Structure 1
Amino acid sequence: MAVNVLIFLALMLFCCQVGGQEAILQVSYGSTVRQYCLVYNSSWSNISHSLTGAQPYPLVNLTSSFLCEWGQLTPGSLQGQAVAVMRGECEYSTKAQIAQELGATALLITSTKSMVTPSANDSEYSKVKIPLALMRYREFLDAMQVFPDGMEVRLYDPPAPLFDTSIIIMLLLAVFTVVMGGFWSGAAEKMKQNAGPSADVSDGHSDSSELSLYSPLKVLLFVGMMCVMLVLMYFFYRWLVYVIIVIFCLASATALYNCLDSLMTAVGCGTLSVSCRGKTLSVRSLLLAAVCVTLAVIWGVYRNDDRWIWILQDFLGVAFCLNFLKTITLSNFKICVILLSLLLLYDVFFVFITPFLTPNGESIMVQVALGPGAGGEKTDGLVEIPADFSSSYEKLPVVMRIPQFSALAQNLCMTQFSILGYGDIIVPGLLVAYCHRFDVWMGNSCRIYFISCAIAYCVGLVVTFGVMLATKMGQPALLYLVPCTLLTTSILASVRKEFRQFWNGNTYQVLDESRKPLLSDGNSGYAGGVREC
């Protein structure tokens, strides 16, 4: 329980995309073709936006030279050819002007360091007439091995489509998680209702495996702790990120075990218990625990391999969110309104207001979410790409990540992801779960509150993605999700003349055995039966 609360305090509520001035270097010889990442300045170099419009040039390897001194080669000796040189020793514009004098038609600067969008003084831009781009030295060596007999190169920058299918997958994944989490919470409430109120809940716990938020003061303290943790992550990211990683491994393994164990119980799978020295052991539990721990360890070991680890992270993330929505319950709609409203303010403040307070003008939320060493992020129109394709920095494991399938140039440089914070799933999901439990308390057979709130969440997420695509900026998703879900459920309860019950919820502290306070105003007859919708 404590682990779940700690990891939730680390959830960064954001949804953003990252892009840059990346292009593609297509190298060919005969029927063999390879493509590599280029970083260039679109306001400096004119590169074709299509492969068919890109001119082919034979490539000359001068990486043994920095090309910083005039007179190294005979003028015109590189006529009609692209040339590759090493980065360093002099300015980009100097290398380009020397290459122009030699007759080169394009300049590739190979780099062993992180590649930042090349730039120069304003007076230098007009002096360079040929395309100039950076590429990884490691990838240039790979091209030399693949094409030992010569290379023909084309430089082009395919425009990234406005819409990527990863957004649809993200939408489906988020809605599935919220709906299943809300369903599980309501199903657990139904089982508890059938069993009768036998647990002592005076301390806010409905049973040993659930924690109920029923006090506004506790909600205020909860949100305050989230703010403090986010600020601490901003200043001490280098150390605290490992704490969050360890907690995520423990929490996700536990959550996955609970999800799989409940699923196997629901489908009627036996426990396969065995006795050993007077003690009974469940073979199913041991196998599930071994599988869950193994998956969490695999994620921990390979967490920075962006090629495939996102699949396992999303799988563990879904399990974590489902278990959280089942474990943490909100006792009434009043608590839902307080919690969601405070977290909405929290989200907006740390995304939109903090850039005016930080030295570098960066949002604290985005800075923490992407990590201080994140490559591929634009700053003042520049983009930085790591020299090594593999990630060399730690990222917080509190987001769903889906690679952008159509961003070809960006993915050659560094895998780009559409991301959605766990908080954007869990926070509205707590309201969806409350709606399902309220349907159970009221005996609504058609689960009208649960379905309506789930649809409102889906609509809010569609609006979030729509605004993000229109503005080409990451959006605080709660800015759209909270109004959609709160307004929908409030209007529904008012129309059905059940707002007072919906507002007060099922507070076990004030209920007698007949549960009449919940079912007042002529609804007491529904305590033991099913109410028509």
Structure 2
Amino acid sequence: MLLACCGTVATWLVTGHWVLNNLLGISICIAFVSHVRVPNIKICAMLLACLFVYDIFWVFYSERFFGANVMVSVATQQASNPVHTVANSLSLPGLQLITKKLELPVKIIFPKNLLGRVLPGTTAADYMMLGLGDMAIPAMLLTLVLCFDYRKSRETVSLMDLRSSKGQKYIWYAVTGYFVGLITALAAGVLTHSPQPALLYLVPSTLGPVILLSWMRRELSELWEGNPQSMNDKSRAAEV
């Protein structure tokens, strides 16, 4: 596994291929979601609401204040490839095979032609982009409801509950909304030929169904405040 990871990074440094960039970016996103937790949906909702406004401002309105679209300028900025710099200084053979610039794995990119091969001279304008933050922050909501579903499944439920809507897990609604939001964001970018704030679509499509469904099931307060019992258990364990 270690050799595969090192080989992937080394190949990306040499070629700068967009598929490897996406693979590294998704790995970073998975690592972030695996290690960062929010205690309840209240904090998650506040975070998503603030980033919802933040994303819309910097994509749609930053040009009016700063003379340029700041979000797009930052997202399309390429970095110098250190491997090419070292190879050039040492006059190593095969220098022409090493890419001079790299798209850093802080975003997921797709060629607009979607035919796979990226020709030499392709610029950032030829790509559709999706920031890792736009993927990772809503994914934190998914991990929250997944933990909530797991805890609820351990509680004793009656056969009537299993057959009712309460037997259906929140994670399926959240994952469906996440998928719909991603597809809608990408489709909006293709149809409008302009940058789109992905959180504009992801926040309503993920947070909305979870809050509405939990309110209908009278479980919103439990999701909103988290599980105080588990917090007490952790505190007692820490004291011991």
Give the TM-score taking structure 2 as reference length.
0.73
Could you tell me which amino acid in structure 2 is paired with residue 368 of structure 1?
V
How far off its partner does 1:440 sit? 0.8
**Change in 2 beyond 3 A, CA 1:467/1:403:** closer
Alpha-carbon distance in structure 2 between the residues aligned to 1:413 and 1:393: 11
Alpha-carbon distance in structure 2 between the residues aligned to 1:354 and 1:390: 35
**Change in 2 beyond 3 A, CA 1:395/1:295:** closer
How far off its partner does 1:396 sit? 3.0
The residue that corresponds to 1:474 in the other structure is 195
Could you tell me which amino acid in structure 1 is paired with residue 201 of structure 2?
Y
Alpha-carbon distance in structure 2 between the residues aligned to 1:482 and 1:418: 20
Alpha-carbon distance in structure 2 between the residues aligned to 1:423 and 1:504: 24
Report which of the two has the higher share of helix. 2
Secondary structure (helix, strand or coil) at the match of 2:37 reads strand
1:462 is aligned to 2:168: no
How far off its partner does 1:470 sit? 3.0
2:76 aligned to which of 357, 367, 370: 370
2:33 aligned to which of 315, 319, 325: 325
Secondary structure (helix, strand or coil) at the match of 1:476 reads coil
How does 1:354-369 map onto structure 2 within 5 Å? 354-358=62-66, 361-369=67-75
How far off its partner does 1:313 sit? 1.9
Per-residue displacement from partner, 1:195-249 (whole Å, max 9, x unpaired)?
xxxxxxxxxxxxxxxxxxxxxxxxxxxxxxxxxxxxxxxxxxxxxxxxxxxxxxx
Per-residue displacement from partner, 1:398-451 (whole Å, max 9, x unpaired)?
11123233689x957526323211112111100011110010111178661111
How does 1:48-63 map onto structure 2 within 5 Å? none
Alpha-carbon distance in structure 1 between the residues aligned to 2:146 and 2:60: 33
**Change in 2 beyond 3 A, CA 1:295/1:339:** same
How far off its partner does 1:472 sit? 1.5
1:349 aligned to which of 51, 57, 63: 57
Structure 2, unpaired ranges of 5+: 80-95, 155-161, 236-240
The residue that corresponds to 1:489 in the other structure is 210
CA RMSD of aligned residues (A): 3.1
Secondary structure (helix, strand or coil) at the match of 1:400 reads strand
1:433 aligned to which of 143, 146, 159: 143
Could you tell me which amino acid in structure 2 is paired with residue 428 of structure 1?
P
The residue that corresponds to 1:417 in the other structure is 127
Whether the 8 Å contact between 1:371 and 1:393 is mirrored in structure 2 is no
Structure 1, unpaired ranges of 5+: 1-287, 374-387, 514-533
2:48 aligned to which of 325, 328, 340: 340
The residue that corresponds to 2:226 in the other structure is 505
**Change in 2 beyond 3 A, CA 1:315/1:394:** closer
How does 1:21-170 map onto structure 2 within 5 Å? none
**Change in 2 beyond 3 A, CA 1:316/1:333:** same
Whether the 8 Å contact between 1:436 and 1:447 is mirrored in structure 2 is no
How far off its partner does 1:291 sit? 3.3
How does 1:179-218 map onto structure 2 within 5 Å? none
2:113 aligned to which of 391, 395, 405: 405
Could you tell me which amino acid in structure 1 is paired with residue 27 of structure 2?
A
Alpha-carbon distance in structure 1 between the residues aligned to 2:5 and 2:223: 38
Alpha-carbon distance in structure 1 between the residues aligned to 2:137 and 2:43: 12
Whether the 8 Å contact between 1:401 and 1:417 is mirrored in structure 2 is yes
Per-residue displacement from partner, 1:308-342 (whole Å, max 9, x unpaired)?
x2222222222222222111111100011011111
Alpha-carbon distance in structure 2 between the residues aligned to 1:289 and 1:411: 30
Whether the 8 Å contact between 2:78 and 2:103 is mirrored in structure 1 is no
1:448 is aligned to 2:174: no
Give the share of equivalent positions with the same residue, in percent. 30
Larger RCO (CA within 8 A; separation ≥ 6)? 2
Could you tell me which amino acid in structure 1 is paired with residue 146 of structure 2?
H
Whether the 8 Å contact between 2:24 and 2:105 is mirrored in structure 1 is no
Could you tell me which amino acid in structure 1 is paired with residue 195 of structure 2?
G
Could you tell me which amino acid in structure 2 is paired with residue 505 of structure 1?
G
1:289 is aligned to 2:10: no
The residue that corresponds to 2:83 in the other structure is none
Report which of the two has the higher share of strand. 1
**Change in 2 beyond 3 A, CA 1:404/1:390:** farther
**Change in 2 beyond 3 A, CA 1:294/1:329:** same
Alpha-carbon distance in structure 2 between the residues aligned to 1:449 and 1:356: 40
How does 1:215-230 map onto structure 2 within 5 Å? none
**Change in 2 beyond 3 A, CA 1:317/1:397:** closer
**Change in 2 beyond 3 A, CA 1:431/1:371:** same
Whether the 8 Å contact between 1:435 and 1:450 is mirrored in structure 2 is yes
How does 1:304-315 map onto structure 2 within 5 Å? 305-306=15-16, 309-315=17-23
Secondary structure (helix, strand or coil) at the match of 2:109 reads strand
Secondary structure (helix, strand or coil) at the match of 2:197 reads coil
Alpha-carbon distance in structure 1 between the residues aligned to 2:5 and 2:99: 25
Secondary structure (helix, strand or coil) at the match of 2:105 reads coil
**Change in 2 beyond 3 A, CA 1:447/1:440:** farther
Alpha-carbon distance in structure 1 between the residues aligned to 2:37 and 2:131: 20
Alpha-carbon distance in structure 2 between the residues aligned to 1:357 and 1:372: 24
Report the count of equivalent residues: 205
Could you tell me which amino acid in structure 2 is paired with residue 398 of structure 1?
V
Alpha-carbon distance in structure 1 between the residues aligned to 2:133 and 2:24: 15
